[in-house]
Amino acid sequence: MGFPFSRMRRLRSTPGLRSMVRETTLQPANLIMPLFVVPGERVKREIKSMPGQFQLSVDQVVDEGKKLRDLGIPAILLFGIPEYKDESGSSAWDDKGIIQRALRGLKESVPELLLMTDLCFCEYTSHGHCGILKGHELQNDATLEIIVKQTLSHARAGADFVAPSGMLDGAVGAMRQGLDESGFSNVGIMAYAAKFASSFYGPFRDAVASAPSFGDRKSYQMDPANAREALREVALDIEEGADIIMVKPALAFLDIIAKVKQEFGMPTAAYNVSGEYAMIKAAAEKGWIDGERVMLETLLGIRRAGADIIISYFARDFAALYQQGKGML
Ligand code: PBG
């Protein structure tokens, strides 16, 4: 029945009523905080294009891990900036590498925190591409062999979840098999299943110095125009054994998140990437928007689209607000 019997505004009249009919929730448990680890001690270097985000040495990552745990953030996603880079990115599977040291430190000091690692080679190769090259071409199957080495090295150091981000065909299956054969059947895989070739990764590439020295990533990351292809990518990763599937970036791809959730009903993650963070921070610094409110609206929107889990540089700020009872719009 229409107006005047139905009045939609009735349910919006008080904060209590609004809270009762609110459809989407946002809690620290929905969030994963990405952290950047660098060699050294007591290093806490702010990333220019990501205000409030830092390159941290292992001791600092451990401190940060404790704070995040206390704020109710269940998981972190680790990115490494290694001591050395070479053609094949071999520092990525060095048992004494930067990520491996961070994992051991965190496992020992913050055992409650779920440790996830990003698996890719762009931070570790001298050319900045995500694996082994032949000429200018990324070699898929040769890279699978080293991604399994990287996976096992992270698992030995204490990773609970590994997250392949290179958009290589067959990576999830190869990793699952490698893990199972080595007795790591409890280590999970969060697959960057539909990862688009996006300019929103710009600040991240500053943070880890991983911009490709030539060309771009369009021959492995997806064309932002494609939605049907995203569903095929996700279906393949599920078949290969992914436990959590991810869509990345989030904001220009909310339709993909919604479709993926509806189609597969899997635990679905969305990556609220560096450029999305930087835009809000920059506009807030200029006083053009209310940064806190826009952050809340953004995270809520990603949840409403269908994401169970959001990987976001806002995770810590959000959890701090939530703890003060200010985590809702
Ligand atoms: C590694 C990787 C990237 C991001 C996560 N893992 C960069 C890229 O693909 O170029 C981007 C994260 C962000 O922008 O926040 N391949």
Mean per-residue pLDDT, 85-97:
96
> Which residues belong to the active site?
195, 248
The span from the CA of 99 to the CA of 36, in Å, is 9
- Could you tell me the distance, in angstroms and rounded to a whole number, from the CA of residue 95 to the centre of ligand 1? 23
At residue 210, the pLDDT reads: 86
Give the model confidence (pLDDT) of 35-55 as tens digits. Answer: 999 999 999 999 999 999 999
Which 3-state string (H, E, C) describes the chain? Answer: CCCCCCCHHHHHCCHHHHHHCCCCCCCHHHEEEEEEECCCCCCEEECCCCCCCEEECHHHHHHHHHHHHHCCCCEEEEEECCCCCECCCHHHHCCCCHHHHHHHHHHHHCCCCEEEEEECCCCCECCCCCCCEECCEECHHHHHHHHHHHHHHHHHHCCCEEEECCCCCCHHHHHHHHHHHCCCCCCEEEEEEEEECCHHHHHHHHHHCCCCCCCCCCCCCECCCCCHHHHHHHHHHHHCCCCEEEEECCHHHHHHHHHHHHHHCCCEEEEECHHHHHHHHHHHHCCCCCHHHHHHHHHHHHHHHCCCEEEECCHHHHHHHHHCCCCCC
Give the model confidence (pLDDT) of 273-321 as tens digits. Answer: 999 999 999 999 999 999 999 999 999 999 999 999 999 999 999 999 9
Specify the pTM.
0.97
Answer positive or negative: Cα dihedral of 115, 118, 119, 123.
negative
Please determine, for residue 234, whether its predicted confidence score (pLDDT) is greater than 90: yes
Tokens at residue 312, please?
Answer: 């976001």
Distances (CA, A) of 250 to 116, 224, 256, 265, 307: 19, 12, 9, 18, 9
Please determine, for residue 68, whether its predicted confidence score (pLDDT) is greater than 90: yes
At residue 108, the pLDDT reads: 98
At residue 4, the pLDDT reads: 96
Mean per-residue pLDDT, 210-224:
92
Mutation pick for ligand 1 pocket among 120, 198, 204, 272 (CB with most ligand atoms within 8 Å): 204
> Which residues approach ligand 1 with their CB closer than 6 A?
118, 120, 122, 130, 165-166, 201, 204-205, 217, 273-274
List all residues 6 or more positions away from 4 whose beta carbon is below 8 Å from its beta carbon.
none
Q: Could you tell me the pLDDT band of residue 101, with boundaries at 50, 70 and 90?
A: very high
The answer as to CATH 3.50.7.10 being correct for domain 24-323 is: no
Q: Could you tell me the pLDDT band of residue 1, with boundaries at 50, 70 and 90?
A: confident
Give the model confidence (pLDDT) of 116-138 as tens digits. Answer: 999 999 999 999 999 999 999 99
The span from the CA of 101 to the CA of 108, in Å, is 11
Write down the mean pLDDT value for the chain.
97
Please determine, for residue 211, whether its predicted confidence score (pLDDT) is greater than 90: no
- Could you tell me the distance, in angstroms and rounded to a whole number, from the CA of residue 165 to the centre of ligand 1? 7
Tokens at residue 88, please?
Answer: 């094949």
Atom of ligand 1 nearest to the CA of 195: 9
Closest to 272 (Cα-Cα) out of 206, 328, 200: 200
Q: Could you tell me the pLDDT band of residue 93, with boundaries at 50, 70 and 90?
A: very high
Give the model confidence (pLDDT) of 139-157 as tens digits. Answer: 999 999 999 999 999 999 9
Mutation pick for ligand 1 pocket among 121, 124, 165, 271 (CB with most ligand atoms within 8 Å): 165
Closest to 126 (Cα-Cα) out of 92, 162, 103: 92
Q: Could you tell me the pLDDT band of residue 329, with boundaries at 50, 70 and 90?
A: confident
Identify the residue whose tokens are 């931070």. Answer: 123
**CA-nearest residue, atom 5 of ligand 1:** 165
At residue 302, the pLDDT reads: 98
- Could you tell me the distance, in angstroms and rounded to a whole number, from the CA of residue 243 to the centre of ligand 1? 20
Mean per-residue pLDDT, 5-31:
97
At residue 133, the pLDDT reads: 94
At residue 188, the pLDDT reads: 98
- Could you tell me the distance, in angstroms and rounded to a whole number, from the CA of residue 147 to the centre of ligand 1? 16
Cα radius of gyration (the chain): 20
Q: Where are the domains of the chain?
A: 24-323
At residue 206, the pLDDT reads: 86
At residue 163, the pLDDT reads: 98
Give the model confidence (pLDDT) of 189-203 as tens digits. Answer: 999 999 999 999 999
The span from the CA of 328 to the CA of 27, in Å, is 9
Which residues are bridge partners to 54 per DSSP?
A: 46
